[in-house]
Amino acid sequence: MELPRLGRIIKILILAAFGFGLLAAMCLGVFFLISGGRPVDFIQTEITRFSMRSRQDDLNRPVGSDNSPIRFTVNLGDSPRVISENLFNASLISDSDLFVDYVRISDLDVQLEAGTYFPNQTQTIPEIALMLTDSSKSFIPFRILEGWRIEEVAAAIDNNHLFGFTGADFLAAAGRGSPPDPTFAATVGLPAGASVEGFLFPDTYQLPPEITPVGLRDLLTQAFLAQVGTQVAADAAAQGFSLYQITTLASIVQRESVNSDENPMIASAYRNRFDIGMKLDADPTVQYAIGFQNGTWWPQITQDDYTGVISEYNTYLNIGLPPGPIANPGLSAIRAAVYPETSDFLYFRAACDGSGYHNFARTFEEHVANGC
């Protein structure tokens, strides 16, 4: 072969090799850009994405049928692998590898957020993964009923299963002997060593997951002050009552009442007894003194209990108000204690028609005649 011709061929091969190299470099550059600078991860993700196409049924199959929320915490710094294993251990997913693969191909692996969540077994992996990207939407639903005593509030905490503490923890923060918020104590006239019984305002709440026993106590007592307002306290003071005394009376009215529209008349009868130095003779104070019995905090009482239950709370034995509230009253009962109906009734008893309303009387003889 002639040397000039061989030289041309070599030049062509060199140029071709350079061209192919340049093209390969350009392709690698484009691939590098497409992969976001992580070519190995990109390849692994695409392989995972391809394999996931056959696992759609597994992705969308919940682990169970129980829709009860489960308290689940993602700690700061938890990796997708740690989160998936914790979900598996909590019986919220059945395949931890599948969860890791899903959040990876969905780009949710970098969006998983530290916080407390409340998923349940009826949710699929995609639903749980999306939930775990926004802890701000998590809350604990909690309801306190009018007339509950503090122990019933504690029991509701235990029955809720979403709190990070127990009912006993709450009682330690809100019960007798616990140090209250000093501003609140001064506002309502809370005696030293008293619990916040009576001031856990009944309502439905959406609580932050990170709430503590003291935080819950203060939230409920602040709700009391906000709902009652300053005018009620001022009017009570003008009548010679502290807010603590008014709430004590209101708690008795709340436990006696079935229909809230009757609260002012029930309060009237008690205020009339109080004004003339007559014993209040309130059945709920005897129940409170007895405490938990026969599966309830409000047991049926007998005639013997009126004098047989020795307690400073028993208003059949002691004149005046009991030492403190016996339950947590609602706003209607609190306002009734401050603004009772004007009447000269001293007695009342349940009507015989089963309506929950009461028959009122001015004398004991009328009271006896109202019996069924």
- Beta partners for 140? 207
Domain membership of residue 125 as a residue range: 52-137
Tally of domains in the chain: 2
User: Residue 25: inside a domain, yes or no?
Assistant: no
The C-alpha atoms of residue 238 and residue 150 are separated, in whole angstroms, by 29
Q: What's the mean pLDDT when you consider all of the chain?
A: 90
Predicted local distance difference test score (pLDDT) of residue 31: 47
User: Residue 348: inside a domain, yes or no?
Assistant: no
Query: Are 124 and 84 contained in the same domain?
Result: yes
Q: Could you give the angle at which helices 263-275 and 331-338 cross, rounded to 10 degrees?
A: 40
pLDDT mean over 208-226: 97
CATH at residue 129: 3.30.1490.480
Query: Are 203 and 124 contained in the same domain?
Result: no
Query: Are 118 and 240 contained in the same domain?
Result: no
pLDDT digits (tens, 9 = 90+) for 218-232: 999 999 999 999 999
User: Residue 364: inside a domain, yes or no?
Assistant: no
Predicted local distance difference test score (pLDDT) of residue 24: 56
Query: Are 211 and 72 contained in the same domain?
Result: no
User: Residue 58: inside a domain, yes or no?
Assistant: yes
Q: Which is higher by pLDDT, 20 or 241?
A: 241
Helices (H) and strands (E) counted in the chain, each on its own, are: 16, 6
Query: Are 164 and 124 contained in the same domain?
Result: no
Beta strands in the chain (DSSP E): 72-74, 115-117, 140-143, 204-207, 347-350, 358-361
The C-alpha atoms of residue 347 and residue 370 are separated, in whole angstroms, by 10
Predicted local distance difference test score (pLDDT) of residue 38: 60
User: Residue 325: inside a domain, yes or no?
Assistant: yes
Spatial CA neighbour of 321 closest among 282, 348, 269, 363 = 282
pLDDT digits (tens, 9 = 90+) for 299-336: 999 999 999 999 999 999 999 999 999 999 999 999 99
Q: Indicate whether 287 pLDDT > 70.
A: yes
pLDDT mean over 140-161: 97
pLDDT digits (tens, 9 = 90+) for 98-119: 999 999 988 899 999 999 999 9
User: Residue 154: inside a domain, yes or no?
Assistant: yes
Confidence of residue 368 (pLDDT cuts 50, 70, 90): confident
* Beta pairing, strands 347-350 & 204-207: unpaired
Predicted local distance difference test score (pLDDT) of residue 313: 97
Query: Are 119 and 148 contained in the same domain?
Result: no
Q: The whole model's pTM is what?
A: 0.81
pLDDT mean over 133-156: 96
